[in-house]
Amino acid sequence: MKLRHLIEPTDFSITELEELFKLADLIIKNPLEYSFKCKGKILVTLFYEPSTRTRFSFEAAMLRLGGSVLGFSDPNSSSTTKGETLTDTIRIVSGYSDIVVIRHPVEGGPKAASLFSNVPIINAGDGGHQHPTQTLTDLYTIRAKFGRLDHLKIGICGDLKYGRTTHSLVNAMSRYPGNEFVFISPEELCMPENIKKALASDNKPGYHECRTIEEAISELDILYMTRIQRERFTDLNEYDRVKDSCILDTEKMKLAGENMIVLHPLPRVNEIHHDVDNDKRACYFLQAENGMYVRMALLMLLLDRTGSFYQNMASETAGFVISTEESEECTNPKCITKIEPPLKQRIKLYSDGRKICDYCGTHIESCCTYEE
């Protein structure tokens, strides 16, 4: 049976997402009923980058389901320091466990892991690429507040260039009808062109860009704040220029509608003043708590190979994507293929002519031949 993995939000159909959210609803209503659902199961956590909320919420989720956890939060305590490749690590730990969660600083790391694993892989963040379980948490919180995931206006503010949470959120929310986006950032941190091009294609929601929160906040249903990520910058002078460019305070909140909500994947630095925490529209701590319940539901569904996630696997992209393992190299210097010798290049060809690296999502412009 083919394994199910969660590498990016679109790996699950909209129907499957709703099934996951309904299960999270049930867990919240009666957590004791689910306290032994994963008894005897082992979760491995491989965190090659620092994490608090994501790692702890996964560990808490598995423990609350009656399972066990092992892994590392510092790669210096693993055989990585001896030169072991990610693919070899995955081959080993998937023999010890039932499911693996991985955060990796190189884009495409979790995708590569999924190709060598005997158990489901969950992407807990890969470089500046994707963070799908944060997106599930975001969607669940929006659904809880508005009762729907469509016909909403979403402002996304801060580091849109490197922010993997913002990329995942746009990919996910653009699947629902009637949604619109406002991208709020300094020019240096604009949303990547490939994401904007995808939104500009047929049957996708619209977007516009602005530089300040004040320009957009009055028209928004959701303001999704993000921090300026110092660790993603190679030029710290550039970081110093933009680090204070998008800050939400109580004065700006006065311009917002009474039903608007503020979300943030956390951690924050200075982009949301602490006074905003007292505003009923500030939902980021609820959002973090929701993450544990969503991850409980995710673990249950991926571990149950007799359940609907395996028996009724949906393929919304069937007929639109052709994959190949033999092609030109990815142009992204941060792609996992640059550091993992065992990996062959995988390019996805879409029906509209787009060619995208299957690992890191980089658009490939040069010509090549694809095989069915």
Coil/strand/helix, residue 350: strand
Under DSSP, the state recorded for 192 is P
Q: Which of 37, 53, 252, 354 is catalytic?
A: 53
* Range list of H helices, 99-131: 109-114
Q: For residue 123, report the phi and psi dihedrals to the nearest 5 degrees.
A: -80, 115
* CA nearest to 46, candidates 120, 84, 102, 5: 102
Q: Which of 2, 29, 82, 274 is catalytic?
A: 82
Instruction: Give residue for tokens 């990547």.
Output: 192
What 144-151 contacts at long range (C-beta under 8 Å, 24+ apart), as own/partner pairs, is 144/290, 145/261, 145/283, 146/221, 149/173, 149/176, 149/179, 150/176, 150/177, 150/178, 150/179, 151/177, 151/178, 151/179
Coil/strand/helix, residue 182: strand
Q: Which of 10, 45, 54, 133 is catalytic?
A: 54
Locate 339 and state its tokens: 């550091």
Under DSSP, the state recorded for 217 is G
Under DSSP, the state recorded for 330 is P
Under DSSP, the state recorded for 238 is H
Whole-angstrom distance, CA of residue 80 vs CA of residue 70: 17
Sheet holding 321-324, edge to edge: 321-324, 347-350, 355-357
Within 10 Å of residue 215's Cβ, how many Cβ atoms? 15
Q: Which of 4, 41, 104, 131 is catalytic?
A: 131
Is 354 designated active site? Answer: no
Is 131 designated active site? Answer: yes
Nearest 5°: CA angle at 165, between 272 and 277? 25
Q: Which of 4, 64, 103, 334 is catalytic?
A: 103
Whole-angstrom distance, CA of residue 207 vs CA of residue 280: 27
Is 82 designated active site? Answer: yes
Is 85 designated active site? Answer: no
Sorted by sequence, the CB contacts under 8 Å of residue 142 that are 6+ apart come out as: 149, 152, 222, 261, 263
Which residues carry out catalysis?
Answer: 53-54, 82, 103, 131
